[in-house]
Amino acid sequence: MSNENNLLILVNKKDKVLGYKEKRKCHLGSGLTHRAFSIFIFNDKNEILIQKRAKGKMLWPGFWANACCSHPRKSESYKKSAKRRLKEEMGIDANLRPVFKFYYQAKYKNIGSENELCSVLVGKCDENEINSNPEEVEEWKWVSIKELKEDMKNNPDIYAPWFKIEMKRIEEIIDILN
């Protein structure tokens, strides 16, 4: 990965660009506020695609999250970067629509933090065979919203913090598809 592709976009909470910094440095300590995106993918059965993050991830390895999360590159929009990353991580092409942005900060053990202005995007895909990247994804599955909400209630510690925040607005996310 070239150095420029490894630079995250530093922003304030109003999404004003403040500069650029190497990805790892953005996630150390309390983290530096940077752009991120989070993608929700649904199928025709109204199931949601979730993934278990690979064990090699710096933050929240082995935790369940939505279909794909990452960061725009220096020269990319949220939508362009989300489309690119969804293909790289899950092998999926989907039309994505922005839903909302939110800011959050979450610390992971003594390793580092997420400190992100996150754009949430939504799309549809009916592929049963997802071609996920094993460096990013340990496993994936389609699950109903009802099952997912129940499991998140019973097992909150296996889900990534941003995903729990986003799931509180799941109806808003689903409405964009209709």
Q: Which of 68, 69, 118, 125 is catalytic?
A: 69
Q: Please say if 116 is a catalytic residue.
A: yes
Contact 52, 63 (CB under 8 A): yes
Q: What is this structure's pTM?
A: 0.94
| CATH architecture of the region 4-177 | Alpha-Beta Complex (3.90)
> Given this model, what pLDDT does residue 2 score?
46
Across the 178 residues of the chain, what is the mean pLDDT of every consecutive 10-residue run? 76 97 96 98 95 97 98 92 96 95 97 97 86 96 97 98 97 87
Q: How many other CB atoms sit within 10 Å of the CB of residue 95?
A: 11
Contact 116, 26 (CB under 8 A): no
> Given this model, what pLDDT does residue 39 score?
98
> Given this model, what pLDDT does residue 1 score?
44
Q: Which of 76, 89, 114, 116 is catalytic?
A: 116
> Given this model, what pLDDT does residue 3 score?
66
Q: What is the CA radius of gyration of the chain?
A: 15
User: In the block, which residue shows the tokens 């992971």?
Assistant: 108
> Given this model, what pLDDT does residue 54 score?
97
- Exposure string of 133-159, with b = 16+ CB inside 10 Å and e = fewer, is eeebbbebebbebeebeeeeeeeeeeb
